[in-house]
A and B are shown apart, each in its own frame.
Chain A
């Protein structure tokens, strides 16, 4: 085979091989109608793409009583992956650690969650020592790369939910018993491992 033909064939072939490998190892995801990819496709068909209509919605939720290890979810109208589009883990002193497109895994003031139209504060039902270890896990990856389609495997790519999911999974808490490719923020809200501290919907 000449190299010019090789150049054109190699990546379609590799894409097919890797797709078949991933699909055969994850049939349960393709058979799960609640899988993130199906939620995304259903919402995309209704014109909801990406994280929705970004603006400052001033939800003014109170962060009083938050403890390190608590989870914060935020969402805009028209979000394609559910009610919430973003998530972070509270680390104390008014700061949250999260993963975002151009900032990677980084620390932000918690008050930026006031910009969302949907916001929810969750308490993880776990010992404070477990939460401390989860925070320490996340902090180890500061500056690591954000990638929207970060699969759960590996520790080189992160999105906002993968870092939280992995941090608690390392401590024995599984937020995704369905073993999906990705973890939607809504899954944390629906989990039996948390209780809602408070939420607001503008």
Chain B
């Protein structure tokens, strides 16, 4: 088989610094302060300084702007900056934009971060009573929380693919096992399948243990050129490539108005990812699938082409299935709009995960698949 042609780019980006403040239910500081501390930690990890930073990219949902963060830290000048929208869809695209800036010589040292007091700061939808745009046709019926829209999709997938409750329960139980090996993970209590099945329904057919945590967290990542990375103290996680996609007729969280019910934007991201990286699913050694809810894992394996449509749960019980969500993910480590998945994807390349996959060459991380989204591959070796 011929490999898909990789997009030609000028120079390669690599992740050289990662850092997380301890996850908690109440971090006791502003998102601004937590974010700044996370960035300083990631720079220290890389052996770089604020004076080296010349670009920043963030989530639109990040409350501290690049301008404010650069001012606080004392960055002399941002040669490149930008934001990516759509909540949990923004993770991989944010890192991709950082890589694009490096690849095109717009910047040399780029900082990305996510600081969110999602636990102590309350639920963002709870106070939004004036429903504008797409929300005006959804919120009056209490299709308000992410779980509400996801529940309507999940019913469809369950009926179309014949998923059993245990198929989703296996995701929750597996990720809890991973979390229990990770001292930084918030959820350390064991979870059995019986525990999962006994957990209360939140929005049928989704149960409590199908849902991610609500966490205060701050994490950051530093990227630079592959050339400069060679002189730094951390093993680089090279950015081999990425993809983004929205799919047609997209509405955030409730993409069920288009022609085809149930197809998520990941179906459109996947071919872009494989083309851009020149890789295929069999090349991937470990994956971090965005996991605000358990159904996103079997769907991820299907939509990124690890198996055929409808075969996700069976594939996940086969020996061909790579390790997934090895930190415990959003379900059991922390919910940081997927930034913890990105950091864990880098750890897998470094060989420092608490659930380390063997001989990792290529580490895949995806972002939220119920909004416009993306995916990225970090690799042990450069192009």
Q: Do A and B come together as binding partners?
A: no
